[in-house]
């Protein structure tokens, strides 16, 4: 989910639209911006899905941070790990329980029940392992400090603007401006 903040500078009249977060595709040494909510459709052109791109370390998340000192906005890139695990873990679990049902226990229905109950946690564990693996393999250091003044005192734009008095730095005239509109896209 992303939020678009429209800004309008009272001093110079400049208008901007700041997006809280967007996905980027790492492709041939560059980053290609993916438009929300059509990411999956765009990725199809590259023979990818969101999850395929994520598990290959090709999906990045660009998150807008605002600086508490100067009000400047910085786009911070980070690796977006897969949000779905593989199905290997859960399938192994089902096989194990089936073997147990056939060879050891004489109550296969109970095993089916245990298998079904175990499926959800198995998927969670599997997802956790997939994310960890992708982050270890493709992760890179993320620097959230302000790209305008260098201050480390930043926070996510969406949190920054939850304070209605917060003002952003106008990129045209350098004045502080107030957000004049916001819209949510899910």
In whole angstroms, the minimum distance from the beta carbon of 145 to Zn ion comes to: 8
d(CA 151, CA 67): 7
Please give the residue ranges that form the binding site for Zn ion (CB under 5 A).
9, 11-12, 14, 67, 69-70, 72, 146, 148-149, 151, 170, 172-173, 175
Q: Which is nearer to Zn ion, 25 or 66 (CB)?
A: 66
- In the complex, the smallest distance separating the C-beta of residue 180 from Zn ion, rounded to whole angstroms, is 13
Look up residue 88 and give its two tokens: 């290997």
Q: Annotate 98-127 with b (16+ C-beta within 10 A) or e (fewer).
A: eeebeeeeeeeeebeebbeeebeebbeebb
Quick one: 143 or 175, whose CB is closer to Zn ion? 175
CB-nearer residue toward Zn ion: 14 or 129: 14
Q: Which two tokens stand for residue 120?
A: 């959800």
Q: CB nearer to Zn ion: give 72 or 85.
A: 72
Name the minimum Å distance from CB 148 to Zn ion.
5
Q: Region of 29 please: left (phi>0), alpha (psi -120 to 50) or beta.
A: left
> In angstroms, what is the minimal distance from the CB of 164 to Zn ion?
20
- Asked if the peptide bond before residue 42 counts as cis, ω within 30 degrees of 0, the response is no
What is the closest distance, in whole angstroms, from the C-beta atom of residue 147 to Zn ion in the complex?
A: 8
Q: Which of 159, 161, 152 is nearest to 181 (CA)?
A: 161
Toward Zn ion, which CB reaches closer, 71 or 81?
71
């Amino acid at each position: 989910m992303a939020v678009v903040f429209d800004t309008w500078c009272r001093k110079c009249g400049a208008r901007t639209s700041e997006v809280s977060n967007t996905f980027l595709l790492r492709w041939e040494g560059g980053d290609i911006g993916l438009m929300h909510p059509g990411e999956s459709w765009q990725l199809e052109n590259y023979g990818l899905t969101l999850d395929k791109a994520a598990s290959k370390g090709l999906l990045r998340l660009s998150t807008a941070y605002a600086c508490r000192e100067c009000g400047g906005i910085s786009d911070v890139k980070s690796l977006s790990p897969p949000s779905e695990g593989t199905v290997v873990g859960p399938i192994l679990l089902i096989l194990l329980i089936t073997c147990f049902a056939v060879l050891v226990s004489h109550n296969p229905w109970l095993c089916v029940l245990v298998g079904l109950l175990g499926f959800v946690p198995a998927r969670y564990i599997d997802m956790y392992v997939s994310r960890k693996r992708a982050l270890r393999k493709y992760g890179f250091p993320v620097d959230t400090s302000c790209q305008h003044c260098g201050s480390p005192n930043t926070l996510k734009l969406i949190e920054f603007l939850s304070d209605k008095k917060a003002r952003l730095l106008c990129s045209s005239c350098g004045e502080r401006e107030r957000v004049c509109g916001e819209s949510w896209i899910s």
